[in-house]
Structure 1
Amino acid sequence: MALKHRIPVRIRHYWKLLATCAAVGVALTVVFTTVRVAPLVTSSGARSADEVTQNIEGSADLFDANQAHSIKLTFRDADYQRLLDSYFKDGEKDWLEADLTVDGVTIPSVGIRLKGNSTLGQLTRDGQAREGARGGGQRPQGGQMPQGGQQMPGAGGPGGGFGGFGGAGGSGLKAEEPENLPWLIRFDEFVEGRRYEGHREVTMRVSGMGGGKTVMNEAVSLNVLAAAGETAQKYAYTSFTVNDRPTVARLVVEHPDENFADEIGSSGVLYKSLASSSFTDQGDDQTDYADDFKQINMVGSQDLEPVIKLIRWVNNSSDAEFDRGLAEHIDVESFARYAAEQNLLLNFDDMAGPGKNYYLYYDLTTKRFKVVGWDYNLTLTGDAEQDPTQTVTMGGGRGFGGAQGGGLPEGFEPPAGMQPPGGNNAGGGRMGGFGGNKLKERFLASAAFKKVYQEAYQDEYQKIYASGAATTALDAALTVLSTVDGYDKAAGTTEADTLRTLIDQRTRYLAGTATVKGS
């Protein structure tokens, strides 16, 4: 996105006036609103390019997952229509100014924008999808994606089928129902230096994807990962009200930002993989990797050089060099756990999936990377009998229609930026579907790392399934959901039953595999 699009138009035109108004506004906010402001916290220049000047304390920890929360958004409809105009005409995700109330604490002038790529392929306005979008709704070119909970061919497996992707199998998203849309909420978009409970951004997770209306699968996945000692985003269930629209129950999730980087380590750089990432050697020029990774923290003091070196080494090293030198570049034990967890949780949309959903954390002390997962709304769906040694793909590894190597239903169009099945992805290798990542592929294919992967898999299996943690997490999520305003009990009960069946079947199946038994 061009730099000018990252700065709101009104700020670009009237920044001097707005700077004065903002100063007055902050003073009035402190005196007359319900916002409670903690002492000012300033980030070190070596750690972050942003200065935190205001940290708002909530009435309760937003990410206390053991209690129901309340979030309300208020904005002008004219501003919302302009946001939609920008997205539907140009594909731009502009920021909209809104007032936010979280658990009774009002935060004025936050920024909100639409979030997602393939997810927004479902979005329609007046029944029409954005021109060139992939997903639900009528398209000028003809054709219509499956709607109303239809299941993709070949996507079923024990414990339920694939719950929807890019508009297929889901109920679709309508611009006329902003309470159901995926939103990124930024606390400092219009008030510089502001945080809420230390967070710069939070995200409202969309329903109707792999986890159905309640996104219970993501809640369960985040719960068990955190319980296993892995880095995972915080989450909670909340009622969500937009203007005078109906209240619905939603999952709010911590968005990986500078604060999240601090949770991973005391001194490191966090890089986000973009959906357009290819993980291919494109030379030394950092601008050539602008579509691959975005640096999250330490902007100005660090850059993309470590990521580029990793990519070039992974793509150009011989098998012997890869086996011998991998531990110098990444934390091998941590990576083995990551790879095992993605299989255990049936996450086909991980670092090797179509969305390239992962972060790289570069530890400045050890000079090694960790792979950090995120975006777990497509976990725990598909085939409960996915083998530990096979790559998880859309439809459980068999492809659509049961064809080996994959295939798509007639008329299906993948979301923008995704590679079709049967061809080599730029990230290195055919995955029997979308996606691919050279680092993960080479790691899993190497005999040198078979033992560390198997040991990690056995350990994580015990923590997630054998211990009963997944079932306990499901029960806990359902208990909290039942107290959230706007909760659809019928849908939640059905989705919980489906998820419970899958967890039970996956637990029993994996117990008999050679990987878990150690044979």
Structure 2
Amino acid sequence: MRLRHRIPVRVRHYWRFLAGCLAFLLVLTVAVSTVRIRPYVTSGSDTGGDQVTQDVAGTVDLFDETVAHRIELVFREADYQRMLDAFYDEGEKEYIEADLVIDGTAVPSVGIRLKGNSTLRSLTRDGQSRPGAGGPGGQAGPGGRRAPEGRAEPGGQGAPDAQDGPAGQNGPAGQGAPAGGVGAPAGGVGVPGGFGRSSLKAEEPETLPWLIRFDEYVDGRRYQGHREIAVRVAGMGAGSTVLNEALALDLLAGAGEVAQEYAYTSFTVNDRPTTARLVVEHPDAHFAEDFDGPGVLYKSLATGQFTDQGDDPTAYADDFAQVTMKGSQDLQPVIDLIRWVGTASDAEFDEHLADRLDVASFARYVAWQNLMLNFDDMSGPGRNYYLWYDLGTKRFTVIGWDYNLAFSGDAAQGPLDQGRLGGGGFRGGGTQGPAGAGTNGGEQAAEPPADTTPPGGDAGRDGGPGGAGPGGAGPAGDRPQGAGPQGAGHALKERFLASETFRQVYEDAYRGLYQEVYGNGTALATVDAIGAVLATVDGYDAATATSDAERLRTLIRQRTESLASDEVVTRS
């Protein structure tokens, strides 16, 4: 009786009802726990996005690339070390709080974190690489395998700089870039046409790749409309000045293509030395404003495959991230496109692709990637592209980004050749300097282990896996659809290039862009213009910038000359 009276009166009066509720919950748990919960949007609205409560105007347009800028970061050393602990121990890229000054405008309490995946594989801390990163010091690659000296481990140092995966997580494990290259430290892998990249050191935060987020600690805040900006470092094919990426972005914008904005800035971290760095617009909701009319922006993830994985949108969580209109739109248009590309007959593909894709824009996209020797595009290991879905026309547009591996391949690559790591030098043979010209260093192309599939497969002008044709595309059904990140390949691009119907569209686009970029000298003039601005930035290293610029000019001259006699360019 004493125990009974300790129970509250209301509980004693309603114990049967409470017991019934508990029993019902138990039944639901047993019966429904294995049922997959599918997300559905609750509205068909063509509007959406995060609420902006504060937009810092600043004093200078951050992405005015014609002037030098200044960025200063101050953060607590203890926070920085804790961030490094999380990255080294768990592979997590956590934000820390920092105070920021941009061109004299103070922006307190921003979030900053390390950016990149393979870029960070060369990061050392107290001289030690992160366990399993395959960086300096001969660490074992994925699976505990150690790469032979002077050679990239498959899935390790040999792959390009991949983008971040969902929610800032790592992309495909083991995508890395060598610390070496032409003119790089001993032990690095030679990259024809490359500039090399030195190892990153945690003790030098002013040299690291950073993502700066303005609303991480202050909800709804933007800076000149931007939620995030990226402080870039070189990919495997570029020097520390990242001139190649600046050149690519400048050429794209000059031709009227949708491209990220960029600028050069002095960059100071705490009381460390000031360096000259490239900052780039990070594609977010503000980036989507470059398009006319309402639409949805989707980001392809480095872990992604362009393959049909059923009707459940959650099955595509590692493939695409929805950037805009969350809650009012969903991933279904992308799923429908993937399924159609994978199942349409060749005749249906030729007849109805234009119903689903802006074909003229896509032809230019593919031509640009070849012209700029950017093998790490939508079909590269990094899966570097966005999809814009126009809600009015119900058609997609493919948008490129992440060009720190552009202008780093074989200058002799033809319009119908498939680009690949090292400019097609995977099978060795011959020595190559910039763009495979046999000068300036005579580095030999990296030759991967036998069990590694090189980016783009074995495809050259005569095709690759699955049949003949540019891009390695064969008949539908025989083609490897959306190969994994290490193997590269993309069903949409491959089928497009293999189609006789779209061949003329592609070649016409290629011919026009060649004249616009190379034939009239624009590329060379742009290198000079970028270099002139860079020379005014505090922390500018004249010797390095001069060397990088001259290598880039050499590659451009060789590419211009090589393509000038190609039948695609000369055909009237």
For normalisation by structure 1, the TM-score amounts to: 0.84
Per-residue Cα deviation, 1:334-380 (whole angstroms, up to 9, x for no partner) = 00000000000000110011100000000000000000000011111
* Matches of 2:137 and 2:311, distance apart in 1: 42
User: Structure 1 residues 339-348 or 90-99, which shifts more?
Assistant: 90-99
- Kept in 1: contact 2:179–2:189 (CA 8 A): no
Which sections of structure 1, spanning at least 5 residues, go unmatched? Answer: 1-44, 164-168
**Within 2, Cα distance between the matches of 1:147 and 1:357?**
21
**Inter-partner Cα distance in structure 2 for 1:432 and 1:447:** 28
SS in 2 for 1:258: coil
- Structure 1 pair 53/429, CA: closer, same or farther in 2 (3 Å)? closer
Q: Classify the secondary structure of the residue corresponding to 1:401.
A: coil
- After superposition, give the CA deviation of every residue in 1:292-341 in whole Å (9 maximum; x if it has no partner): 00010101101100001001111111111111111111000000000000
1:482 corresponds, among 522, 535, 545, to 535
Question: What's 1:39 paired with?
Answer: none
Q: Give SS of 2:286's match.
A: helix
Q: Whose radius of gyration is greater, 1 or 2?
A: 2
Deviations 1:115-149 (A, max 9, x none): 11111111121222222224444416656766451
Rounded to whole Å, the distance in 2 between the matches of 1:81 and 1:152 is 28
Q: Residue 509 of structure 2: which of 453, 456, 468 is its match?
A: 456
Call closer, same or farther: CA 1:432–1:467 in 2, change over 3 Å.
Answer: farther
- The match for 2:351 is 324
RMSD over aligned CA atoms reads 2.7
Q: Structure 2 CA distance, aligned partners of 1:458 and 1:64?
A: 30
Q: Is the 8 A contact 2:110 2:213 kept in 1?
A: yes
Bigger CA drift: 243-252 or 389-398? 389-398
Partner Cα separation in structure 2 for residue 102 and residue 432 of structure 1: 36
After TM superposition, list the pairs within 5 Å mapping 1:274-313 onto structure 2.
274-313=301-340
In 2, the alpha carbon distance for the partners of 1:123 and 1:411 equals 24
Rounded Cα–Cα distance in structure 1 between residues aligned with 2:243 and 2:426: 25
TM (norm. structure 2) is 0.76
Q: Distance in 1 between matches of 2:484 and 2:509?
A: 22
Moved more, 423-432 or 208-217: 423-432
Deviations 1:59-95 (A, max 9, x none): 1001000000000110001111111111111111111
Task: Name which of structure 1's ranges 311-320 and 293-302 shifts more when overlaid on structure 2.
Answer: 311-320
In the TM superposition, what is the alpha-carbon distance from 1:199 to its structure 2 partner?
A: 0.6
What are the residue-to-residue correspondences of 1:108-507 with 2, within 5 Å?
A: 108-139=108-139, 147=179, 149=184, 155-156=191-192, 161-163=193-195, 169-207=196-234, 209-402=236-429, 409=447, 428=481, 434-507=487-560
Q: Give the secondary structure class of the aligned counterpart of 2:303.
A: coil
User: Do residues 52 (structure 1) and 84 (structure 2) align?
Assistant: no
User: CA 1:258 to 1:208, structure 2 compared with 1: closer, same or farther past 3 Å?
Assistant: closer
Unaligned 5+ runs, structure 2: 1-44, 150-156, 158-177, 431-443, 459-464, 467-471, 473-478
The question of whether the paired residues in 2 share the 8 Å contact of 1:481 and 1:487 is answered with: yes
Q: Residue 268 and residue 135 in structure 1: after superposition, are their counterparts in 2 closer, same or farther (change >3 A)?
A: farther
Q: Distance in 2 between matches of 1:178 and 1:411?
A: 34
The answer to whether the 8 A contact 2:426-2:448 is kept is no
Cα contact 1:391–1:431 (8 A) shared by 2:
no
The aligned amino acid for 1:299 is K
Structure 1 residue 154 displacement after superposition: 7.1
Q: Distance in 2 between matches of 1:171 and 1:127?
A: 13
Aligned residues between the structures: 462
Describe the shift of the 1:480–1:338 C-alpha distance in structure 2 as closer, same or farther (beyond 3 A).
same
Cα distance in 2 for residues equivalent to 1:59 and 1:133: 41
Report the alpha carbon displacement of residue 177 of structure 1 after superposing the two structures with TM: 1.0
Supply the distance in 1 between the matched residues of 2:303 and 2:333 (Cα, whole angstroms).
19
Q: Is this contact kept in 1: 2:74–2:99, CA < 8 A?
A: yes
Counterpart Cα distance in 2 of 1:413 and 1:50:
45
Decide whether the 8 Å contact of 1:393 with 1:433 is kept in 2.
Answer: no
State the distance in 1 between where 2:480 and 2:201 align.
33
Is 1:106 aligned to residue 102 of structure 2? no
Report the Cα offset of residue 450 of structure 1: 0.5
